[in-house]
């Protein structure tokens, strides 16, 4: 990483010497300066498991509380846990005081290190500011950005003229993410330069493409987070009634596993393989776009049947989810897969009937 050497040093030392009772960390700084990257990288270096909460987890107090109150300080593999609340300014600005209040209390006596990051200082975050060690990130200086871009160009065997690099640096205005993306744009194949597509357009395009290669093009231009791509692909697949659903579902499952690795190892270049897999799931699918997960029906009396009980209990342990999630999401998913014949479990099928 480049830039903000002093700030980065403070952050790393904070984690190195962390013990219960220490104030949480709040990193404030402009986009693309490495806040998220640093937190993930140092956690990785120090052997922490990062429990990352996103905007939708933080929207309501109930959700936040249910996620945070159950965190243990060590995960199932014996790694210490670090809680990372990224982009908190975006979340708390939507006028949800309950979530903010809860956070304020949580960070005061958390049993695990808590790191937060944000772009701006917002008035609504006052309480959190008071209770945190605030560290500021600044834009990446041009000279350092230029060195980094040249370094990347060397590693990737990309040839860019001095002028091109200068232009990218100038236009990026200290945003390293933007600079790297720009570099990608000016060097890559025409298809990636094309207009970005909203979800529906991209998915439909991929489904109805005459060839697999064309599908890949649509998915590459799909303008959505990889996780969202996976969710929407799942919803679309499960609602399609495809004959070969099992095979497609296997590809989707592999894509999901790959995504996890990409995140964990920060191997963003692997994203293109994710696109290849998603295109495989979607190409030629009967039925159209669907962005809502399977319309499961949750019928409560069923949980009283012993086989449901035992399955739910297993799911809790094997899939590391709470009872509520097992009952409301995992079990209906399991039912669904059994109904489709993707999973065979005759006892369970009888209980369903």
Ligand X SMILES: Nc1ncnc2c1ncn2[C@@H]1O[C@H](COP(=O)(O)OP(=O)(O)OP(=O)(O)O)[C@@H](O)[C@H]1O
Torsion of CA 178, 183, 184, 189, to 10 degrees: 140
Q: Smallest gap, in angstroms, from Cβ of residue 87 to Mg ion?
A: 6
The 10 Å Cβ neighbour count of residue 78 is: 8
260 burial type by CB count under 10 A (0-12 exposed, 13-18 middle, 19+ buried): exposed
Site stretch for Mg ion (CB under 5 A), options 28-36, 72-80, 169-177, 230-238: 28-36
Contact flag: residue 177 with ligand X (CB under 6 A): yes
Q: Smallest gap, in angstroms, from Cβ of residue 257 to ligand X?
A: 21
Residue 123, token pair as written in the block: 């008035």
3-state SS assignment for residue 277: helix
Determine the Cα angle at 276 with ends 260 and 223, to 5°: 75
Residue from 12, 31, 256, 343 in contact with ligand X (CB under 6 A): 31
Q: From Mg ion, ligand X, none, which one binds at residue 37 (CB under 5 to 8 Å depending on kind)?
A: ligand X
C-alpha–C-alpha distance, residues 140 and 310, integer Å: 54
Instruction: Please say which residue, 180 or 326, places its beta carbon nearer to ligand X.
Output: 180
Residue from 18, 24, 28, 34 in contact with ligand X (CB under 6 A): 34
Residue from 10, 22, 23, 37 in contact with ligand X (CB under 6 A): 37
Q: From ligand X, Mg ion, none, which one binds at residue 176 (CB under 5 to 8 Å depending on kind)?
A: ligand X
Pairing mode of beta strands 25-28, 114-118: parallel
Residue nearest to ligand X (CB): 34
Contact flag: residue 36 with ligand X (CB under 6 A): yes
Q: From ligand X, Mg ion, none, which one binds at residue 3 (CB under 5 to 8 Å depending on kind)?
A: ligand X
Cβ–Cβ under 8 Å, residues 274 and 255: yes
Instruction: Please say which residue, 125 or 279, places its beta carbon nearer to ligand X.
Output: 125
Q: Smallest gap, in angstroms, from Cβ of residue 177 to ligand X?
A: 4
C-alpha–C-alpha distance, residues 42 and 63, integer Å: 27
Contact flag: residue 149 with ligand X (CB under 6 A): no
Alpha helices in 157-225 (DSSP H): 162-172, 176-187, 190-193, 199-208, 212-221
Interaction site with ligand X (CB under 6 A): 1-3, 31-37, 87, 119, 140, 148, 176-177, 180
Interaction site with Mg ion (CB under 5 A): 35-36
């Amino acid at each position: 990483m480049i830039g903000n050497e002093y700030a980065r040093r403070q952050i790393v030392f904070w984690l190195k010497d962390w013990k219960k009772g220490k104030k949480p960390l709040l990193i404030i700084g402009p986009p693309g300066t490495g806040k998220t990257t640093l937190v993930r990288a140092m956690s990785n270096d120090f052997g922490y498991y990062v429990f990352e909460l996103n905007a939708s987890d933080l929207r309501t107090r109930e959700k936040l509380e249910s996620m945070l109150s159950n965190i243990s300080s060590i995960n199932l593999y014996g790694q210490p846990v670090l809680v990372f609340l990224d982009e908190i300014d975006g979340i708390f600005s939507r006028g949800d005081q309950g979530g903010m209040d809860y956070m304020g209390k949580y960070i005061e006596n958390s049993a695990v290190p808590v790191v937060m990051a944000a772009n701006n200082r917002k008035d609504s975050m006052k309480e959190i500011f008071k209770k945190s060690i605030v560290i500021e990130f600044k834009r990446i200086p041009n000279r350092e950005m230029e060195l980094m871009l040249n370094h990347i160009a060397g590693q990737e065997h990309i040839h860019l003229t001095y002028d091109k690099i200068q232009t990218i640096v100038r236009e990026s205005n200290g945003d390293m993410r933007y600079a790297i993306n720009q570099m990608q744009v000016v060097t890559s194949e025409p298809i990636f330069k094309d207009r970005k597509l909203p979800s529906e357009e991209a998915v439909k395009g991929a489904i109805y493409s005459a060839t697999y290669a064309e599908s890949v093009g649509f998915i590459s231009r799909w303008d959505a987070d990889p996780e969202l791509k996976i969710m929407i692909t799942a919803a679309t697949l499960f609602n399609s009634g495809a004959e070969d659903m099992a095979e497609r579902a296997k590809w989707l499952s592999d894509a999901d596993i790959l995504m996890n690795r990409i995140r964990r190892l920060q191997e963003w270049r692997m994203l293109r393989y994710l696109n290849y897999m998603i295109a495989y799931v979607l190409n030629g699918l009967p039925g159209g776009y669907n962005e809502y997960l399977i319309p499961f029906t949750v019928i409560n009396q069923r949980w009283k049947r012993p086989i449901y009980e035992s399955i739910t209990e297993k799911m809790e342990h094997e899939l590391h989810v709470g009872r509520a999630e097992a009952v409301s999401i995992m079990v209906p998913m399991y039912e669904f897969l059994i109904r489709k014949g993707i999973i065979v479990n005759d006892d369970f099928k009888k209980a369903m009937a």
